[in-house]
Structure 1
Amino acid sequence: MKTADCIKSSIIKRRGIKGHIAVDEIGLPLESDWTKKYYADVYEITTDKKVIIYEVKSSKQDYRSDKKWQNYLNYCDLFYFVAPLNVIEIIRAEVPSHVGLYSYDNSYLVCIRSARKHKENTFTEALKKKLQTQLAYRFTKMHRERLSMAKEVE
């Protein structure tokens, strides 16, 4: 399994333990063109209905080549980068203090800096509701697939 996939899996498992809904690769529609989308690496809804996006970076090159992460700020209440510690140190020096940071090492996630809500956030309740509906659909579909696989094993 690739590093990025391992990181995503760890985030989803950790968030699920807390009773939150988290899935990977959720399409975020561009407000200027609803036919195009960004894809959040991991998208979470907490029990108190906060929306959190986790952007996974597996290497320095992966981080340096990403120019779209700031667009995600308008689709969430909180935003985190998750990467190996050597990459997180680079990210920490370059991103604003409201961006949260998690380091990843051998399936362990460690919060380096908690995310804070961005002052200029334009995340509307209407968009939040649309994305929550999309997430609920994806989560239900994922759950059905797991049940189907479990029945096949029996």
Structure 2
Amino acid sequence: MTGPVSGITFAERAQAVRRAATRLCLLLGWAPLHEVPLPNGRRADILALRPDGGFACIEVKSGSRDFLSDQKWQDYRAFCDALYFAVDSDFPLDLLPADTGLVVAADLTAEVIRDAPAHPLAASRRRSLLQRFATLAASRLVLCEDPGAAVALRTALRPE
């Protein structure tokens, strides 16, 4: 299935937006992590640890149909200090809720168009989320350096 503009698929469009949003995070001094499983069963497209110790969740949308068919985004608020949507420059911005931040991507760059309103996490939730974030990041780094570790881990976790 292709998107409405330039003949790319929705998956390719989402990947391009995610890549640009991730680069923006790095430029802002945020530490982004993709596809972060949250305690409520949801998966954050990008969860970024900010220099102030807060978390920004960035929900990537490939088009209006993606946004309109997926209303789970409100479930992410409980696990971040600021919630953003990242879309491409062709996205109809009036669809997005005004009480979220907005990142618009074009090619390999992105820009924060609207800052997200702050809704600070409770200290206990922040600590738990920080532990989850660090463990996931460290595990992914180990697997990049030693792909064989994944096999060893699966073997160790296999039920007898």
Cα distance in 1 for partners of 2:95, 2:84 equals: 11
User: Where does the alignment leave 5 or more consecutive residues of structure 2 unmatched?
Assistant: 1-10, 148-160
Residues 9-20 of structure 1: pairs in structure 2 closer than 5 A: 9-20=19-30
Aligned to 2:56: 52
Is residue 2:66 matched to residue 1:62? yes
| 1:21–1:139 Cα contact (<8 Å) kept | no
| 2:25–2:31 Cα contact (<8 Å) kept | yes
Aligned to 1:139: 137
Cα displacement (A) at 1:140: 1.4
State the one-letter code of the partner of 1:145: L
Residues 32-111 of structure 1: pairs in structure 2 closer than 5 A: 37-92=41-96, 95-96=97-98, 98-111=99-112
Q: Give 1 or 2 for the bigger CA radius of gyration.
A: 2
Cα distance in 1 for partners of 2:139, 2:14 equals: 22
Greater alpha carbon shift after TM alignment, 20-29 vs 55-64: 20-29
Cα distance in 1 for partners of 2:127, 2:101 equals: 23
Aligned to 2:157: none
User: Where does the alignment leave 5 or more consecutive residues of structure 1 unmatched?
Assistant: 31-36, 150-154
Aligned-residue Cα RMSD (Å) equals 2.0
Aligned to 1:2: 12
| 1:82–1:88 Cα contact (<8 Å) kept | no
**Counterpart of 1:24 in 2: which secondary structure?**
strand
Query: How many pairs were matched up?
Result: 137
| 1:102–1:110 Cα contact (<8 Å) kept | yes
Cα displacement (A) at 1:87: 1.7
Cα displacement (A) at 1:117: 1.1
Task: Calculate percent identity across the aligned residue pairs.
Answer: 23
Aligned to 1:113: 114
